[in-house]
Structure 1
Amino acid sequence: MVAALLIGFFIFAGLYADVLWFDQLGFQQVLFTQWGAGVALFAAGFFGMAIPVFVSIYLAYRFRPVYARPAAQLDRYQQVIEPLRRLAAIGIPIVVGLFAGVSAATRWQTALLYFNSTPTGETDPQFGLDISFYLFDLPFIHGVVGFASAIVLLAGLIGLATTYLYGAIRVAGREVRFAKAARVQLGITAAVYVALQAVSIWLDQYVTLSTAGTLITGASYTDVFAVIPGRQIVAGVAVIVALLFLFAAITGRWRFPVIGTALLIVVSLLIGSVAPWVVQRFTVAPSELSVERPYIQRNIDMTREAYGVADIEEVPYEATSETTPGALRQDAETTANIRILDPAVVSPTFGQLQRFKQYYTFNDTLDVDRYEVDGQTTDTVVAVRELNQAGLGDSQTWYNRTVVYTHGYGLVAAYGNQRSADGQPKFVESDIPTTGALGEFEPRVYFGENSPGYSIVGAPAGTDPIELDYPSNGGEGDSGIYTTFSGDAGPSLGNWFNKLIYALKFQSEQIFLSDAVNSESQILYDRDPRERVQKVAPYLTLDSDAYPTVVDGRLKWVVDGFTTSSSYPYSKVQSLGDAIADSYTPSPNFAIDDVNYIRNSVKATVDAYDGSVELYVWDENDPVILSWEKVFPTSLKPMSEMSGELMSHVRYPQDLFKVQRAILGTYHVTDAGSWYQADDAWRTPADPTAPATSDVLQPPYYLTMQVPGSDAPTYSLYSTYIPRQNNAGGQSVLTGYLAVDSDAGATAGERAEGYGKLRLLELPKDDTVPGPGQVQNTFNSNAQVATELNILERGGSEVVRGNLLTLPVGGGLLYVQPVYVQSSGETKLPLLRRVLVSFGDRVAFEDTLDSALDELFGGDSGADAGDTAVPNEGAEPGTGTDTGTDTGTDGGTETGGDGTAVSADLRQALADANQALQDRAAAYAENDLVAAAEADARLQAALEKAIAAGG
């Protein structure tokens, strides 16, 4: 009894903690609705299973033949079971009812969508039913029929066993004799079960519209002319067999239902298997394209609609490979915004320059956002300085981890298109306390992607603060600035009962005993932004990347939420995890992985200071989110309540774009014949900067650019395509360029007209424009580039190649790749040293993007790239950006005309390089990163002089 009470109290503690958490956040309705639906379905499942099983056992025993003499073996079984009969008669229904109830309770989302379904106004091309029938009704009805079948089958089997045990069924040789009561019970049970199978088979004809076949998803020619009519016929036969079982229950003539059941099996085999095979083999196979054409077209049209790509704008792009002076003049604004800072490379640099203390950290892959700086919208690489308690070392006491080190501090942002003189990021917002161009905002980060499991914050007014806010700039010993949390972010620990509840939840007696827990204390947990959104909106599939942004004086995380389904008729089913995985994102584990419908229906924000969650309906035409809005009317807000500043920072989600690019690899083809022949199927190229053995996909990139076919530059997300039939070692020519307008504008509650516009640049099939893999191979094999990279790797350094960007400018495709140099030792500080560019078959490798473009386009690119904001970017006085090396197509070099002078210059340059190497080694030994960076800059300049002098 004591053990049961303890278990019960632990369960209560968990439930009560959930009530406190949801109540504090203002989403208690979500919890209670979910619980209410779960309890209702559990009750329906429990009683729906337990009562029929109990009735079956009761009737079998109640109407047993009292004076029948059972076989000796059965007599022994009765003697064993009889003392436990009452317990079994009640216990068996309860046990199977519990399993059924738990199974039913997990289907609460399907049930709520069914009872709150929203019509779409669109019909399927086969049966003419509203699409909502497939999204909401069919899954629920099919589930109910399947559950009812399981109930009847289990109740029938248990009833059969009971009647046999008590002699109502006797087997004498080849003859089976039934008592009248047993005959009626089993006959009715069998009739109900077969009738349910008839309903299930009838419903199966609709399931064919979302079933993946060998050619398409959806009903093909064979399905339409053999499978669907066959299932209708089999369902009709099953109804007749059910009536025969009722007839047998009344008359005792089992011959008819037995013959009917055998006939049903034969008909099912002939009509369900043989007939479709005959149609496929002798009608479809000889002329597959001609007979399947209309069904392929259905699949194309419905797939494009289900994935939101039906209105994509396809733009023929006759890409040139010729470089001419001034070719980029028309794309000057695009080239000025080329992002040379790679968010996947510079996290260690942010860490070395902006972490300040070992208990702070930045994510491995940073985010890209845009801000208005000096009146101009600028792409930035952003990161949140979060808490890393592992950096506390031996100071990881419960007190420090829970009540002192409670939060991170500040957002760091760097220009995407600029760098400092020594290759470091040029920051827009940085340092502690936070300073920069983003204005005043609350910098404390109590809720983030790396926040502790739980923290306890808050204290009565007038008490000394104990939460470390940030380290001070000087002083010995205790040199931190402290604060007291003043928001409303977590359940209260102001009474002993709540303390006890959370002491049990987190298995820490300190929560109950510590004097640091006071009347104003709050406990913060479930602090990851995606986790918080998922708990208050369990019906959403979330984008794998939550990104931070400064909005309305607050630091907020933005999370994109999707509604999905796998029941959309005629739409291709694909794995969500496989479509999203790339070199930035490992394959995620989704609760529902196979989907054939997706919409970005919700934009969510999580305040980094107080953890408050806001959910905004983003796609007001999505029937799924409209149905959930009926279920949770108070948790979802209309888009009209979004501020203009928030609108300016939302973006087109990467995961949705990845799913769409996977679909468009095949479904950019809209002609059924061409689609069938797969003569123009594409795929996303592998990431050329990843290890060759990984074969992970290249991620899409955010850039501000003007895509051909658009009127002006806009914040965009893009990816590229190569032919699908190419393997990793084959030729990877570029076939397509997919981009989407990701700028929602800055008007409160009103989305910009162009947002979400997909454009597909289709390159000529008779030309060979190099793809990312080919360009990367060209960079790696270019003799001049290889020589300079070898020089950069000397002295304990290693070269890191940044993201390979592709831009449709100058009438062709421009490739840009930043090149970083970092120490090969323990301390990593990637510094942006050079820029690789390619256009057609020409390559340039220079200090700056400007000089590389000028080199590529004959000294007059017509472009003004953003990295010119820092003159010469680390070049020594007098060297400028011209190293004296001509990286033209012939790969040759030009040296000075005076051999003696050159030798003297070379000797001096080498001496300077040697001194810089020594200085850098000494700086790293003393952990003086600033001096190391300065020595690195001098080493780079000296090596460039050596190259120029030595030819």
Structure 2
Amino acid sequence: MRNWKLVPALLALTLLAVIVYILFYFVFVDFFVDLWWFRSLNFEGYFWLRLLYRFIFSGGVTIIFFGIFFFHFWIASRYLGLSPPDEILVSADKRQRFQSFADIFMHGSIKIYTPLSLILAIAIASPFYSQWETALLYFFGSSSGIVDPVYGQDVSFYLFSYPLYMLIQQELLYSSIILFFLVTALYWLEHVFVPNQNKEYPLGAKIHLAILFAFTVSFLIWGLFLDRFSLLYINSHEPVFFGPGFVEIRYELPLIWLSIVSVLAMFISAVIYVFSRQHRTMIPIFIALGGFLLALGLQNISFIPSLIDTFIVRPNPVLTEGQFMENNIKATLAAYDLNNIKIVDYKVNLDASEDIEKWGTLKHFENIPVWDREFLIDGYQQLQGIRPYYHFHSVDEDRYYLNEHLQQVNLSARELNIDKIPAAAKNWENEHLRYTHGYGAVITPAAQDAGNPIIWYLRDLNMQSNVGFSVKVPDIYYGQEDYTYAIVPNDLDVLGITGSDKDITGAYKGRGGVPIPSMFRKLLFAFYQKDEKIFFSTNISKQSKILLRRNIVDRINAITPFLHLDKDPYLVVTKERFYWIQDAYTLSDKYPVSKFARDDFLSGTENFNYIRNSVKIVVDAYDGAVKYYISDAQDPIINAYRIAYPGVFNSLESLPVELQEHLRYPRELYYMQMMIYAKYHQRQPGLFYEQAETWQFAQVNKNYVMPYYQTLDFAHCNDREELVMINPMTPINRSNLSMVGLAGTLDIEGCGKNSYKPYLQIYKFGKDIQVNGPAQVEALIDQDPDISEQFTLWDQHGSTVAKGRMVIIPMGDHSILYVQPIYMISTKTKIPELTRVIVSIGNQVVMDTTLWSAFKKLKTKFIKSAEDAQGTGTSAE
């Protein structure tokens, strides 16, 4: 019997132990590890500030709603409006029973209202727990200076205020409805439990309920008012245009205003009816209700809008919808930063002799990329992986000042891939204490001669370079691979795992990582990583640090989850060490009347209709230090975060010059912008409606020619080379070329040395002359008997011929140069070999082993063609 008495105590202790374990494991451990990690990155102030904002907005909203519920319940319980007749209170027994009843409602009910108010407050405020950053942007956002074309509101209203207003309105409406019915029920209880009550509610109860009803109606009207702005995001007119049209603005918008007026009239009529004692009638209430139901019904039937569309809009689409198309065009171009594109009318001349003569210098050919990174990655891995646990994740393009001019190169970091170590070596000590990092990088020039081995500018574990590349600290602890945690330095003797024979210890001397100076921290990290070996390992010293979140994308997302990251971070080589540069974007889905981007961009993100490449993020590959630099100071979203988090975002001018020189226009952003611009470059409503000049990305063999990097002098700044993105586009469903687009970062107006001023430029071709697209050039290549014969011969010798990406470059003043590399891929080793280069201008095609020799042959062809044409003209005379 005594044992049974211990059961409740044991259950209570068990429950307490479970709660303590949950708090320790999921709150205490995570909190302290995050705190130490942010402190190691010098972001401790940001960590506390972010926590404070979350507590203020989430916790503050919960307290406010709790206060609202509790206040009204308390008022209702303190004043029930009890008014029993005097004869009921004559006897002491009846008076005592009535007083007990009143005490239950007026004093004892607080035990019910308090937890009920808390539960309701948490339920109502729960959306704020995940959307607290919406409130942050509202409080720190500022005016953009741009107004929407429909209502004339500043765009910042839609980016910052509108999302928060919708959230607040919804939750306030829910809370007011719940309160109204609960308080009404509370007042009704007196007529159930107290005998001989008056039929009507007392004046105090009426006033209280009227106030609650007024709040409900005001929140409903506010919701209808906000509903006007939802018309700006209607997609029912696509694929023609996005946003509201004639029907929405001329028919649906007036109905919303009718709804607002009807609800307001209905409320006023109801109040007058309730508080009036004489000549009261419900006719005004029914009239207002009828107006509201009429407006609601007209909004939800398609008959009348269909008639308007059939008899007014469709017969005159440009006249009726022209202004709304123009609104969509202007908003979309502004939202995707496409307003300042420079258009160059490029008149192509079929006779390219003059441009060939001007362009006939070797310098122009030293930067034309003939190695596609999709092919080059296999060569890097086969020739420079060197050790089984090293891996090249991707190939990047960049430019460095080499051989007395700016030269385009391909490069890749030699990172650690723990999955590649031998199976016998896969144990905890090797994976976390020995095999901890990658080492070095490889660099090759973008332009190379065919038929020769790959030229290396940086190679091998001894970092050999014949062009001056030298890196003091070549270790890579942070990169793009799927890194696990590492503990360094440690008491193990790590011999020759990472570098050359000269590197015998590989001891980590960086400032990054979280120190493990005590057994307490070892215990916490063991819990955090769910790995007891951290606690029991004797090879972890007091000087050891644990390196966490070593994948640079995971690392940045853990610090600033509100930034959206580009898919292609790239490596930069300096004399001191390696750095990663990551482009980051601010997005919104609330830019008014702007078309949504629906293409595969920034995987994992929702649809958006506003974007800015507002931040450049630099990650130290050795220390893991993360620094943020604002690259678009005009973006209102990043400015709001800059004000909210002082000290986190730096000006771009403070970025070291050796890194500024390697900033580039993001490939993914440019691709997405051109997808939008392909349609929205047609700015006149009539032309936009016809879609007669809509573009698409050029295609070869049903594959799109994606934007690619090219370093060249485009005559922007006095014989100065620059790295740009290039993409060719053709008319939709056609193969001839319509334009060649450029995206660069050079200050083409001021020509400052290290200034970063992104620009877009379009070389637009006239309609009077046929300009070959890549598919047409490929057809010329296939029709050339010498080239096709050579392809057939190669295919018979145990290898496969593969055509690389076609490079298309405006050449001189009136010509287009086409360059396509040809690879042979061995069926045994799978190593690609650059075997030939094809060069084409106009309808002439030449294949040779080098760009320079192919160009000279092409030049000879044009001279001969010109002489033949001149001779034909003379004989005709």
* TM-score interval, normalised by the smaller of the two chains: 0.7 to 0.9
Q: Distance in 1 between matches of 2:803 and 2:190?
A: 80
Could you say which residue in structure 1 is the equivalent of 2:432? Answer: 402
Could you say which residue in structure 2 is the equivalent of 1:635? Answer: 648
How much does 1:205 deviate? 2.5
Amino acid in the other structure paired with 1:722: T
The question of 1:670 aligning with 2:683 is answered yes
How much does 1:453 deviate? 1.7
How much does 1:512 deviate? 1.0
Q: Distance in 1 between matches of 2:494 and 2:461?
A: 19
Could you say which residue in structure 2 is the equivalent of 1:909? Answer: none
How much does 1:29 deviate? 2.9
The question of 1:370 aligning with 2:370 is answered no
Q: Distance in 2 between matches of 1:120 and 1:734?
A: 38
Could you tell which deviates more after superposition, 710-719 or 184-193? 184-193
Conserved 8 A contact 1:284-1:292: yes
Conserved 8 A contact 2:582-2:616: yes
Conserved 8 A contact 1:382-1:412: yes
Could you say which residue in structure 1 is the equivalent of 2:447? Answer: 417
Cα pair distance change 1:723/1:748, threshold 3 Å: closer
Amino acid in the other structure paired with 1:705: L
Cα pair distance change 1:240/1:327, threshold 3 Å: same
How much does 1:652 deviate? 1.1
Conserved 8 A contact 2:819-2:840: yes
Conserved 8 A contact 2:352-2:815: no
Conserved 8 A contact 2:705-2:806: no
Could you tell which deviates more after superposition, 147-156 or 640-649? 147-156
How much does 1:790 deviate? 3.2
**TM-score (normalizing by structure 2):** 0.84
Could you say which residue in structure 1 is the equivalent of 2:63? Answer: 47
How much does 1:228 deviate? 3.4
Aligned residues: 808
* Within-5 A mapping of 1:238-277: 238-247=263-272, 250=275, 255=282, 257=285, 260-270=288-298
Could you say which residue in structure 1 is the equivalent of 2:737? Answer: 734
Q: Distance in 2 between matches of 1:326 and 1:804?
A: 20
Could you say which residue in structure 1 is the equivalent of 2:49? Answer: 33
Could you say which residue in structure 1 is the equivalent of 2:90? Answer: none
Q: Distance in 2 between matches of 1:748 and 1:774?
A: 37
The question of 1:360 aligning with 2:390 is answered yes
Secondary structure of the 1:482 match is coil
Could you say which residue in structure 2 is the equivalent of 1:117? Answer: 141
Q: 1:234 aligns with which of 251, 255, 259?
A: 259
Conserved 8 A contact 2:727-2:742: yes
How much does 1:819 deviate? 1.8
Conserved 8 A contact 2:451-2:833: no
Deviations 1:699-751 (A, max 9, x none): 21000124488864421101121223x2xxxx422212111223479x99975
Q: 2:559 aligns with which of 524, 529, 536?
A: 536
Q: 2:764 aligns with which of 748, 762, 775?
A: 762
* Within-5 A mapping of 1:154-165: 154-156=178-180
Deviations 1:234-255 (A, max 9, x none): 2232222333444455469894
How much does 1:302 deviate? 2.9
* Within-5 A mapping of 1:494-509: 494-509=517-532
Cα pair distance change 1:245/1:801, threshold 3 Å: farther
Could you say which residue in structure 1 is the equivalent of 2:475? Answer: 444
Could you say which residue in structure 2 is the equivalent of 1:520? Answer: 543
Q: Gaps (5+ residues) in structure 2?
A: 1-15, 85-104, 194-198, 865-877
Q: Distance in 2 between matches of 1:410 and 1:748?
A: 34
The question of 1:589 aligning with 2:604 is answered yes
Cα pair distance change 1:524/1:251, threshold 3 Å: farther
Deviations 1:428-447 (A, max 9, x none): 11111212222333211000
The question of 1:489 aligning with 2:512 is answered yes
How much does 1:166 deviate? 8.8
Cα pair distance change 1:100/1:518, threshold 3 Å: farther
How much does 1:797 deviate? 2.0
Deviations 1:463-502 (A, max 9, x none): 66437652546xxxxx973221111111111112221221
The question of 1:327 aligning with 2:392 is answered no
Cα pair distance change 1:492/1:229, threshold 3 Å: same
Amino acid in the other structure paired with 2:23: G
Amino acid in the other structure paired with 1:532: R
How much does 1:628 deviate? 1.4
Secondary structure of the 1:483 match is coil
* Within-5 A mapping of 1:20-99: 20-53=36-69, 63=80, 92-99=116-123
**TM-score (normalizing by structure 1):** 0.78
Q: Distance in 2 between matches of 1:302 and 1:446?
A: 44
Q: 1:13 aligns with which of 20, 29, 40?
A: 29
Could you tell which deviates more after superposition, 322-331 or 790-799? 322-331
Secondary structure of the 1:637 match is strand
Q: 1:715 aligns with which of 711, 716, 723?
A: 723
The question of 1:598 aligning with 2:628 is answered no
Could you say which residue in structure 2 is the equivalent of 1:657? Answer: 670
Q: 2:488 aligns with which of 445, 448, 457?
A: 457
Could you tell which deviates more after superposition, 445-454 or 602-611? 445-454
The question of 1:225 aligning with 2:250 is answered yes
* Within-5 A mapping of 1:303-314: 303-314=332-343
Q: Distance in 2 between matches of 1:86 and 1:842?
A: 91
Q: 1:845 aligns with which of 847, 860, 867?
A: 847
Secondary structure of the 2:860 match is coil
Could you say which residue in structure 1 is the equivalent of 2:831? Answer: 829
Amino acid in the other structure paired with 1:714: E
Q: Distance in 2 between matches of 1:28 and 1:257?
A: 60
Q: Distance in 2 between matches of 1:597 and 1:760?
A: 22
Q: Distance in 2 between matches of 1:208 and 1:294?
A: 15
Could you tell which deviates more after superposition, 177-186 or 347-356? 177-186
Q: Distance in 2 between matches of 1:549 and 1:166?
A: 77
Conserved 8 A contact 2:565-2:584: yes
Q: Distance in 2 between matches of 1:420 and 1:770?
A: 25
Amino acid in the other structure paired with 1:265: L
The question of 1:799 aligning with 2:830 is answered no
The question of 1:626 aligning with 2:639 is answered yes
Cα pair distance change 1:248/1:188, threshold 3 Å: farther
The question of 1:143 aligning with 2:167 is answered yes
Q: Distance in 2 between matches of 1:562 and 1:820?
A: 36
Could you say which residue in structure 2 is the equivalent of 1:893? Answer: none
How much does 1:667 deviate? 1.6
Q: Distance in 1 between matches of 2:503 and 2:715?
A: 53
Conserved 8 A contact 2:489-2:545: yes
Q: Distance in 1 between matches of 2:281 and 2:521?
A: 66
Could you tell which deviates more after superposition, 408-417 or 593-602? 593-602
Conserved 8 A contact 2:74-2:110: no
Q: Distance in 1 between matches of 2:752 and 2:608?
A: 30
Could you say which residue in structure 2 is the equivalent of 1:381? Answer: 410
Cα pair distance change 1:836/1:235, threshold 3 Å: same
Amino acid in the other structure paired with 1:319: V
* Within-5 A mapping of 1:881-892: none
Conserved 8 A contact 1:340-1:416: yes
Conserved 8 A contact 1:644-1:749: no
Q: Distance in 2 between matches of 1:774 and 1:711?
A: 34
% identical equivalent positions: 25
Q: Distance in 1 between matches of 2:69 and 2:212?
A: 11
How much does 1:64 deviate? 9.8
Conserved 8 A contact 1:454-1:524: yes
Q: Distance in 1 between matches of 2:112 and 2:835?
A: 79
How much does 1:820 deviate? 1.7
Could you say which residue in structure 2 is the equivalent of 1:943? Answer: none
Secondary structure of the 1:511 match is helix
Could you say which residue in structure 2 is the equivalent of 1:910? Answer: none
Conserved 8 A contact 2:432-2:484: no
How much does 1:232 deviate? 2.9
Conserved 8 A contact 2:399-2:408: yes
Cα pair distance change 1:709/1:221, threshold 3 Å: farther
Q: Distance in 1 between matches of 2:780 and 2:289?
A: 70
RMSD, matched Cα: 3.5
How much does 1:675 deviate? 1.1
How much does 1:812 deviate? 2.8
Q: Distance in 2 between matches of 1:449 and 1:254?
A: 74
Conserved 8 A contact 1:552-1:645: no
The question of 1:317 aligning with 2:346 is answered yes
